[in-house]
Structure 1
Amino acid sequence: MRRSWRFVQTVLGIIFRHPIIGTTIIPILPDGRIVFIRRRDTGQWGLPGGIVDWGEDIATAAGRELTEETGLELVKIRRLVGVYSAPDRDPRLHSICVAVEAEVQGSMQVQDTLEVSEVQAFSKETLPQGKLSHDHDKQLQDYLNGLTTLA
């Protein structure tokens, strides 16, 4: 019995004491505009994305999260922008985020009304920089500067 309890404690420790893996998508429309979502919980603009589900790879999660949050379809992942793992990058929990640039298409429409209040595309000249959610300002700057970052 004691051995079984120790095993359960070890498994729970592994599950709950490790970072969660997620993805952020920098969605580029055919006209070059970048798509952002307005988060319902904070009211801040941010990039679409979320947690990778069990059994998913990053590309599949990116496509699913993009569609769930924006109504858009992922056409092609262009490049890796970075892997962001700072323990304080997400105020809710320790998460590791894989950020990708992606070609997208379709009509923008909020799908997940519990998380997202608005979807909007911005030209590079009108980006809502400076107070994006999480560490999305850093991810966006790395993208705009053509960097691939491990942070």
Structure 2
Amino acid sequence: MEQKIVKYSVLSPLAKVPAYATAGAAAADLCAALEEPLTIAPMQRVLVPTGLAIELPDAGCVALVYARSGLSIKHGLCMANGVGVVDSDYRGELKVPMINLGTEPYTIAPGERVAQLCIAPVWQAAFVPAATLNETERGAGGFGSTGK
């Protein structure tokens, strides 16, 4: 698998370097840089620090922060904003906005894996007005679904 250099700065002695769990993993784990456990009540939102900042190699990529599947399915812990977007020119601390959609409080332990960081290619669109758009078999039908 191709690798590109992503520089990082440690902003807290509690930070852990993002790590891929397996050779085929698409995203690296982000860990909570906490001094003490953090309990999140049902429907509560929190911003979990990672103690890290990153420098993406160029404007042709983006860092995406996703929820961890196990935390979301077992405990209802999800990203409060769905997916975090880290632009190539951002240099601040990576923080994970989380919400507890479960029915029980959940306690995040210091150093616990709380999210996944995926680096992906991206390009900016040149939006151009058009009087008509090309027709497709689907057309305008089934917004939010293919209808199948």
Q: What is the TM-score with the length of structure 2 in the denominator? A: 0.25
**More helix, by proportion:** 1
For the pair shown, the structure with the greater C-alpha radius of gyration is: 2
